[in-house]
Copies of this chain bind each other. A is one copy, B any other.
Amino acid sequence: MDKQHLIDCHERIKPFIHNTPVLTSRLINGMAGASLFFKCENFQRMGAFKMRGAANAILQLSNEQKRNGVVTHSSGNFAQALSLSAQSLGVTAYIVMPDSAPQVKKDAVKGYGGVLVECESTLEARERASQDIVEKHGATFIHPSNDDHVILGQGTAGKELLELYPNLDYVVTPVGGGGLIAGTALAAHYFGNDCKTIGGEPFEVDDAYRSLKSGKIETNTSTNTIADGLKTQLGDRNFPIIQKHVQEIIRVTEDEIIQSMRLLWERLKIVCEPSCAVALAAVLREKERFKGQEIGIVISGGNVDLSRLPF
């Protein structure tokens, strides 16, 4: 994927996304000893960067494909993103979700016009349900993170950030399924001025960290993290990009995630997910490395259950 792909993608999705604001905090800069620029994708439509990739993926379809709809399996933000993108474009979105998923997530998908398809809570059941919809309706399957068009879409957040701050030394994102960090790394490569991409990942789900070490896609045997958006694993489309363009993945503890989340809420005055705090926690953990640098941080999303805060 070259520079022009990212430029074209951005132009294509602009009518469907917000160019989200960038916030700063004098106090957090003081704590970090660096200048941090927070790209607030919690203010994105439906509340997360996932809107970008979902919109791009649907916009790539032919008219016939659009008529037949799209399908994904997700119980997270991509479910809502695909639903809202599809609704904006008059396309049917089938969302496969385990029947055990929280009612609020099911309602959100329906609220954005998605067609909810419930299944058992196993990977096999989800894949079978998705395949059934592909066969029955001719719908196009769109993976939440392991899809070139999705990766490009997610990269536009970093592109917007670098358009405002072209001399960033680093851009840091959380790492879950790998779509955001792969897209961001492409944006940093093509639009940055020697800007390096770094990932933040919980110790509890450090599959991406281990994957970069071993050179193959690793999985997690347990997922005991508050950063519920980061439990997924890398895929064969985004992993090569990550290998090529991501400098390092920094792991953080659950305590560091919660402390950083509280900082973001108290000092930036934003409602954001624990996953976002992983990127800030990574910067605060390795202060010496980032000292005096200009660092962009992607705040990935803001869909939080206010009744279940860790503070």
Contact = CB atoms under 8 A, between A and B. Distances in A.
B306 A269 contact: no
Given A21-B21, A266-B271, A309-B309, 16 more contacts: A23-B43, A26-B45, A43-B268, A43-B269, A47-B269, A262-B306, A266-B304, A266-B306, A269-B271, A269-B272, A270-B270, A270-B271, A271-B271, A306-B309, A306-B311, A307-B311
A42 interface: yes
Interface string A240-263: 000000000000000000000010
B302 A269 contact: yes
Interface string A299-311: 0001010110101
A266 B46 CA distance: 11
Contact of A265 (B266, B306, B311): B306
Nearest to A21: B21
A194 to B, nearest CB: 30
Interface in A261-311: 262, 265-266, 268-272, 302, 304, 306-307, 309, 311
8 contacts: A23-B43, A262-B306, A266-B304, A269-B270, A269-B302, A270-B271, A306-B311, A309-B309
Contacts of A45: 26
Contacts of A26: 45
Interface of A: 21, 23, 26, 42-43, 45, 47, 262, 265-266, 268-272, 302, 304, 306-307, 309, 311
Contacts of A265: 271, 306
Nearest to A41: B269
A8 B71 CA distance: 57
A279 to B, nearest CB: 17
A271 B304 CA distance: 12
Contacts of A307: 311
Nearest to A265: B271
A150 to B, nearest CB: 22
Nearest to A44: B269
A27 to B, nearest CB: 8
Contacts of A42: 269
Nearest to A26: B45
A276 to B, nearest CB: 11
A308 to B, nearest CB: 11
A177 to B, nearest CB: 22
Contacts of A311: 306-307
Nearest to A40: B269
Residue among A42, A47, A265, A269 with max Cβ neighbours from chain B (10 Å): A269
10 shortest interchain CB distances as A-B pairs: A269-B302, A269-B271, A42-B269, A21-B21, A265-B271, A306-B311, A43-B269, A265-B306, A271-B271, A269-B270
